[in-house]
Amino acid sequence: MAESQLEWRADPGLLELRPATSVDQVRMLGEGHGVAVAALAPALIDPALRLLVDDRGSFALLRREWAGDGTAEAVLVRAAGARIAQPAVQHAAAGWGCDRVRDAWRDQVLQVPMPADTAPLIAMPVT
Mean pLDDT of the chain: 85
SS3 content of the chain, % helix, strand, coil (to 5): 25, 25, 50
Please give the pLDDT value at position 114: 75
Count of domains for the chain: 1
Which CATH number goes with the domain that contains 75?
3.40.630.30
Residue 35 counted as domain residue:
yes
Rounded to whole angstroms, the Cα distance separating 112 from 127 reads: 26
Contact assessment for residue 40 and residue 112, using Cβ atoms and an 8 Å cutoff: no
Domain extent for 25: 17-111
In a domain, 78, yes or no: yes
E-strand stretches of 2-127 = 18-19, 49-53, 59-66, 72-80, 100-103, 108-111
Q: How far apart are CA 75 and CA 93, in angstroms?
A: 9
80 lies in some domain:
yes
Residue pLDDT, tens place only, 75-103? 999 999 899 999 999 999 999 999 999 99
- Model confidence pLDDT, tens digit, residues 39-73: 899 999 999 999 999 988 899 999 999 999 999 99
**Domain contains 45:** yes
